[in-house]
Chain A
Amino acid sequence: MNTPAAAAPLTAQAYKSDYKPIWCPGCGDYSVLSSFTKAFAKLQLRPENIAVVSGIGCSSRIPAYTNCYGFHGVHGRSLAAAAGLKLARPDLTVVVASGDGDGYSIGGNHFLHACRRNVDLTYVVMDNHVYGMTKGQPSPTTEPDWDSKLSPGGTGLRTFNPLVIALAAGANFIARAFAGDPNGTAEVIAEAIRTPGFSFVEILSPCVTFRPEQREWKQLVRPAPVTSTEDAARAARRIMTDDGMNIGVLYKADRKPYQPPMGKGKKHPSDLEAEFAL
């Protein structure tokens, strides 16, 4: 995390670009964008000291809507790009945006190893239990009985539990938030950024176009009844037994982030070029 700005306080608006989001009206991702900018303002980070990295999907459009540095990369590979950036530029605050398809399916393997490596990143996954951009296919978090024209009768497949996976794989900070609570979500994102190591924030972000029933989430979410724990076994029990609607910081440890020593074994770009020459 970079140091706070010394100049005049920045407002959330200061982190927004001039591009208007093209998400569907009612999409939860609007509120997540608002939470990003509020969190940055809360921490008073300079926009030029933040990099927002993403993959592919509706949620991955976020970098364009901020005026921070951005990288809209390859499907499922946002964490690889972000880890490389953070290791090369540890002075930057690197926030990664993804969705449940991009992050848990196409990028599932990167997710596991990003948790394990514990590079100082904040990984925000906007989970709407569907592939929205490609017109509504089931994703890893789609309920097995979700019936649609593209999955008649439902997939019958067990859903992926990203928080448990993150915990088992070694994430240092795990939280769940809800897009309909943009202020609370901003606080969670700010805390995730402040916490060294790999911070994983899953945000329930309704897709009102393909999953209109997710409008009901606002009646179902609730603050987690207990405070966060640093005991992984206790966190695992909590996460595995809740109904997926408890929001808040669920696990927070103090594992040392991975950061190789800088400047050792550094090669000149021309050496690298020669090494990879065909």
Chain B
Amino acid sequence: MSTKKSSKKATKSSRKPRTKPAAKKTVVKAQRAPAPKRVAAKAAGKATVASAADFMAHAYAMEAEAAERYAEFADSMEVHNNREVAELFRKLSRIEQRHADQIMEQMGWKQSPATSANVRWEGAEGPETADPTELHYLMQPYHALQIALHNERRARDFFAQLAKATKDKGVRAGALEMQEEEAEHVRLIEEWLKRTPKPDANWQTDQDPPVLSD
């Protein structure tokens, strides 16, 4: 098993562009290996991640799915003329996708090793994937950051549980480092939220509402 600098770490460090300071680069032990055809492992808790390569495939699927969801959110907000939040979601999507791409590069994979369609999580989706029912057309950046914070916390807990459950030393090392990194992101977003204006109590009020039956 070779050791490489984790591009995921590098990307994650640039995760919060404008307002987040850069996190330090760390190292993940990962095996350069052909892409697994199917990752059948379950997520944290009952983890059956068999190897460091499987672990990275999970990490890839997690990032790619999160990127896709944030892109959908950005599209939705653009269509509804909420451009500030659309821009924020677009940025989050780009960052997550960059993480996914860098995992591919780091592992030397030519094709996606796993997608959300062939990784089955304990829940319905990956731990970093945002819940679509949380959106509102009048939402503000503060709300978007709350969604991101929730996802980062889930990602942190996922890696913590995985590290606890696995018997593979390489997987455990990687999971612990990821856990630490996600914990850092949680702290950074918490800081970011402190600097972001809190919506007033009537943020959902629309003088010309599209819904007439309320």
Give the interface SS of chain B, mostly helix, strand, loop or mixed: loop
Beta-carbon contact of A38 and B116 below 8 Å: yes
Beta-carbon contact of B134 and A26 below 8 Å: yes
Beta-carbon contact of A184 and B213 below 8 Å: no
A30's partner among B72, B77, B78 (CB-CB below 8 A) is B72
Known contacts A9-B111, A25-B76, A38-B116: A183-B125 contact under CB 8 Å: yes
List chain B residues, Cβ under 8 A from A208: 133, 135
Beta-carbon contact of A28 and B132 below 8 Å: yes
Beta-carbon contact of A183 and B136 below 8 Å: no
**Chain A residue at minimum C-beta to C-beta distance from B138:** A25
A31's partner among B77, B132, B136 (CB-CB below 8 A) is B132
Beta-carbon contact of A25 and B120 below 8 Å: no
A26's partner among B124, B133, B214 (CB-CB below 8 A) is B133
CB distance from B140 to the nearest CB of A (A): 13
B48 at the interface (CB under 8 A from A): no
Report A197-223 CB contacts with B as 1/0, cut-off 8 Å. 000000000101110000100100000
B132's partner among A11, A30, A42, A210 (CB-CB below 8 A) is A30
Which segment, of A15-23, A238-246, A255-263, faces chain B? Answer: A15-23
List chain B residues, Cβ under 8 A from A31: 132
Chain A 222-248 interface residues, beta-carbon cutoff 8 Å to B:
none
CB distance from B161 to the nearest CB of A (A): 20
Report A23-49 CB contacts with B as 1/0, cut-off 8 Å. 111111011001000100110000000
Beta-carbon contact of B117 and A215 below 8 Å: no
> For the complex, what is the distance from the CA of A180 to the CA of B211, rounded to whole Å?
23
List chain A residues, Cβ under 8 A from B80: 24-25
List chain B residues, Cβ under 8 A from A180: 124, 131-133
Beta-carbon contact of B78 and A12 below 8 Å: no
| Contacts across chains A and B counted by CB atoms under 8 Å | 84
A5 at the interface (CB under 8 A from B): no
CB distance from A149 to the nearest CB of B (A): 5
CB distance from B1 to the nearest CB of A (A): 28
- Give the one of B76, B117, B211 with max A CB within 10 A: B117
Beta-carbon contact of A206 and B133 below 8 Å: yes
Chain A 106-156 interface residues, beta-carbon cutoff 8 Å to B:
135-136, 148-150
List chain B residues, Cβ under 8 A from A41: 117
List chain A residues, Cβ under 8 A from B33: none
A-B contact pairs, 18 of them (CB 8 A): A9-B111, A11-B115, A20-B76, A20-B79, A21-B75, A21-B76, A25-B136, A26-B132, A26-B135, A27-B132, A30-B72, A30-B76, A149-B212, A149-B213, A180-B131, A183-B120, A186-B117, A218-B131
User: What are the 7 closest A-B residue pairs judged by CB atoms, nearest first?
Assistant: A25-B135, A181-B124, A26-B135, A136-B213, A20-B75, A149-B213, A215-B133
Binding site for B on A (CB under 8 A): 9, 11-12, 20-28, 30-31, 34, 38, 41-42, 135-136, 148-150, 178, 180-184, 186-187, 206, 208-210, 215, 218
Binding site for A on B (CB under 8 A): 68, 72-73, 75-80, 111-112, 115-117, 120-121, 124-125, 131-137, 139, 210-214
Can you name 11 extra interface pairs (CB under 8 A) apart from A12-B115, A136-B211, A183-B117? A20-B75, A20-B78, A21-B75, A25-B137, A26-B135, A30-B72, A150-B213, A182-B125, A183-B121, A208-B135, A209-B211
